């Protein structure tokens, strides 16, 4: 696979050493299906305004919205303006917006309407002249997966997905969920890859757009300090946590079908695990990184004793951040006897020479005390301590914690002498806060990922086989859990007691993030 970004190489004014010039995509159009949805309004449209404001969109850029509304371009522009004003990260500038708004178009129609897709294909073709997009277009499918077949089929029928026919590149962006089990994921991947070709499919896992996640690669592979201890000889265990304080919001119908394991474990947590555990890629290019991630995902093993090491929970009513919150089964539109989990904790192994014997504890949940995502490596204790036993009572495991959100950064925890006449060693922590050392405002994950799609940089997007390998991990758990009731925990607690017992059984405790 080619590296990427070769398209500008013939331009003598571009030089890889010229780090001042922004990476700007070629002239192109972006078509968003389901532009009126939540994701489009809260994330996509604001991200586009932010990109435009930072001067990262090409001069010739068009944004097309497609939805079943009886709308003109004006209605679309006003929806987009409201979305951008409400949710954009960068300050509002009328001239930036006016320019973006001048290149926005709305195509009304339902997904089974041939005329609407013919209209869309024709508009894209015309834009080659009127907007100079040269046949380049990306399609963002912000629609339920059930709609994919019909939309993709329409694109195939009109030739919109064909690079050669359009004379430029055509890419498709899909959002999670990538299926609900291995079988459906393969089906979905086959469908999308057939229409677009696997190289042109971008699966968004917005966690991978976060600075700290990318920094994990820099931390591991640019330094000499960490890699020597990054293995089973020195690491005792790894804990990967993604906690949310929020409930399920208005997603009840979707969530009750899905549950925490499919919603978060399968994608975000396993991707974080892959980045933590992967071997060094031979080169910093998408294909090499994806290869290493895939190797790890295929080496992941599920414990045999699922009853002890695959715990799921469901929140009951409780108090969170000073407010009374309802239990999961009392949430609107959730069946009273729902057995969907809102919490999942799991012990996984990675069967490679580097990680054999090191447990990877993964947990995720809703209505936990705070919103936090982190990766914590807990190191082995020193084999011998020359101090008296009483001196080191307060000394725990050395830890390296990568904080993904909030307060993106890193913490190193180690023992230090307490000042005074006694020898007493206690844990202290050393913090590195991203915002303090580098730019005040890291770009939103969506900004970065959308820009990468337009640039054709697939580094941060999971490959079809990665998705399938992740499902292969989750499927046996789902089979085991099917029909059983989850354990319960009070909203505002760190999960069910059984999850604590699971670590206690191994002589460990969960880190309080």
Partner 1 sequence: MTTLWDTTGTAVVKALAAERRAGGAVMSGLALTLVVVVEEKQVGEAEEAARIAASVVPCRMLMVVRRQVDAPVPRLDAEVLIGGRLGPGESIVMRMYGRLALHAESVVLPLLAPDAPVVTWWHGPPPDVIAHDPLGIVADRRITECSYLPDPAGALEIRAADYLPGDTDLAWTRTTGWRAALAAALDSVEGTVTGGTVEGDPGTPSRLLLAGWLSARLGCHIALESAVDAKGGTAISGARLELDTGRVIDLKRADPRSVSVKGGAGPDTVIQLPKRSLGDLLGEELRRLDDDQLYGEALATTTGTSGLTERSGGRRHVWQDPAEQAAAPT
Chain residues in the site for partner 1 (CB under 8 A): 8, 11-15, 17-22, 24, 26-27, 55, 58-60, 95-96, 99, 129-134, 430-433, 436-440
Q: How far is the CB of 90 from partner 1 (least distance, A)?
A: 13
Q: How far is the CB of 56 from partner 1 (least distance, A)?
A: 10
Asked if 129 is an active-site residue, the reply is: no
List of residues 6+ apart from 35 with CB closer than 8 A: 44, 45, 65, 66, 67, 76, 79, 106, 142
Enumerate the β-bridge partners of residue 477.
none
Pick between residue 255 and residue 434 the one whose CB is nearest to partner 1: 434
Pick between residue 323 and residue 440 the one whose CB is nearest to partner 1: 440
Q: How far is the CB of 94 from partner 1 (least distance, A)?
A: 10
Burial status of residue 482 (CB atoms within 10 A of its CB: 0-12, 13-18, 19 or more): exposed
Pick between residue 132 and residue 318 the one whose CB is nearest to partner 1: 132
Pick between residue 175 and residue 444 the one whose CB is nearest to partner 1: 444
Residue 266 CA to its chain's centroid (Å): 11
List of residues 6+ apart from 88 with CB closer than 8 A: 46, 49, 50, 53
Pick between residue 17 and residue 384 the one whose CB is nearest to partner 1: 17
Residue 327 CA to its chain's centroid (Å): 27
Pick between residue 131 and residue 312 the one whose CB is nearest to partner 1: 131
Pairing of strands 61-67, 360-365: unpaired
Pick between residue 24 and residue 362 the one whose CB is nearest to partner 1: 24
Q: How far is the CB of 81 from partner 1 (least distance, A)?
A: 17
Q: Among residues 234, 268, 384, 397, which one is catalytic?
A: 268
Enumerate the β-bridge partners of residue 416.
426
Number of other residues whose CB lies within 10 A of the CB of residue 452: 22
Pick between residue 86 and residue 436 the one whose CB is nearest to partner 1: 436
Q: How far is the CB of 292 from partner 1 (least distance, A)?
A: 28
Specify whether the CB–CB gap between 413 and 427 falls below 8 A: yes
Q: How far is the CB of 432 from partner 1 (least distance, A)?
A: 5
| Among 296, 267, 299, 300, residue whose Cα is nearest residue 279 | 296
Q: How far is the CB of 21 from partner 1 (least distance, A)?
A: 5
Q: Return d(Cα 385, Cα 392) in angstroms, integer.
A: 8
Extended beta strands in 176-244, E state? 201-204, 235-243
Instruction: Quote the tokens at residue 289.
Output: 């990184």
Q: How far is the CB of 19 from partner 1 (least distance, A)?
A: 6
Q: What is the maximum span of the chain, computed from C-alpha positions, in angstroms?
A: 84
Q: Residue 452, SS3?
A: helix
Instruction: Quote the tokens at residue 368.
Output: 């936990």
In which residue are the tokens 């068009």 written? Answer: 62
Pick between residue 96 and residue 274 the one whose CB is nearest to partner 1: 96
Q: How far is the CB of 484 from partner 1 (least distance, A)?
A: 47
Q: Return d(Cα 412, Cα 202) in angstroms, integer.
A: 34
In the chain, what are the helix, strand and coil shares in percent, each to the nearest 5? 40, 20, 40
Q: Which helix (H) or strand (E) holds 408?
A: none
Specify whether the CB–CB gap between 179 and 467 falls below 8 A: yes
Give how far Cα 219 sits from Cα of 128, 225, 240, 410, Å.
Answer: 43, 9, 17, 10
Q: Return d(Cα 144, Cα 431) in angstroms, integer.
A: 41
Residue 285: left if φ>0, alpha if ψ -120 to 50, beta else—which one?
A: beta
Q: Return d(Cα 398, Cα 414) in angstroms, integer.
A: 5
Active site residues: 268
């Amino acid at each position: 696979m080619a590296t990427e970004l070769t398209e500008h190489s013939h331009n003598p004014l571009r030089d890889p050493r010229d780090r001042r010039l922004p990476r700007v995509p070629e002239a192109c159009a972006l078509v968003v299906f389901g532009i009126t949805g939540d994701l489009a309004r809260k994330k996509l449209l604001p991200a586009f305004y932010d990109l435009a404001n930072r001067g990262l969109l090409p001069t010739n850029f068009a944004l097309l919205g497609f939805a079943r509304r009886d709308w003109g371009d004006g209605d679309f522009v006003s929806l987009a303006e409201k979305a951008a004003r409400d949710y954009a990260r960068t300050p509002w500038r009328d001239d930036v917006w006016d320019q973006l708004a001048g290149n926005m178009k709305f195509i009304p129609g339902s997904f089974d309407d041939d005329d609407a897709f013919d209209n869309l294909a024709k508009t894209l073709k015309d834009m080659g002249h009127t907007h100079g997009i040269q046949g380049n277009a990306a399609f963002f499918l912000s629609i339920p997966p059930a709609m994919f077949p019909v939309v993709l089929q329409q694109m195939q029928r009109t030739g919109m997905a064909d690079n050669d026919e359009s004379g430029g590149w055509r890419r498709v962006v899909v959002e999670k969920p990538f299926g609900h089990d291995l079988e459906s994921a393969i089906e979905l991947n086959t469908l999308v890859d057939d229409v677009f070709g696997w190289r042109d499919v971008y699966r968004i896992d917005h966690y991978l757009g976060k600075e700290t996640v990318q920094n994990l690669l820099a931390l591991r592979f640019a330094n000499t300090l960490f890699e020597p201890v990054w293995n089973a000889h020195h690491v005792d265990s790894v804990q990967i946590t993604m906690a949310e304080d929020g409930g399920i919001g208005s997603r009840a119908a979707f969530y009750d079908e899905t549950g925490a394991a499919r919603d978060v474990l399968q994608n975000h947590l396993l991707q974080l695990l892959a980045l933590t555990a992967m071997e060094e890629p031979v080169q910093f290019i998408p294909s090499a990184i994806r290869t290493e991630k895939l190797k790890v995902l295929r080496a992941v093993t599920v414990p045999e004793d699922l009853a002890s090491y695959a715990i799921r929970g469901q929140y009951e009513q409780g108090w969170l951040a000073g407010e009374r919150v309802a239990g999961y089964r009392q949430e609107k539109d959730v069946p009273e006897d729902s057995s969907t989990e809102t919490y999942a904790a799991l012990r996984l192994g990675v069967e490679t020479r580097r990680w054999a014997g090191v447990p990877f504890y993964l947990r995720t949940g809703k209505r936990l005390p705070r919103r936090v995502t982190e990766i914590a490596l807990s190191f082995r204790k020193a084999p011998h301590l020359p101090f008296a036993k009483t001196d080191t009572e307060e000394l725990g495991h050395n830890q390296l914690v990568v904080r993904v959100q909030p307060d993106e950064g890193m913490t190193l925890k180690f023992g230090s002498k307490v000042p005074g006449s006694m020898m007493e060693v206690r844990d202290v922590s050393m913090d590195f806060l991203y915002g303090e050392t580098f730019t005040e405002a890291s770009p939103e994950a969506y900004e970065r990922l959308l820009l990468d799609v337009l640039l054709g940089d697939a580094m941060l997007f999971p490959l079809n086989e990665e998705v399938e390998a992740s499902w292969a991990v989750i499927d046996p758990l789902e089979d085991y859990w099917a029909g059983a009731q989850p354990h319960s925990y009070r909203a505002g607690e760190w999960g069910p007691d059984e999850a604590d017992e699971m670590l206690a059984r191994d002589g460990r405790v969960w880190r309080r993030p």
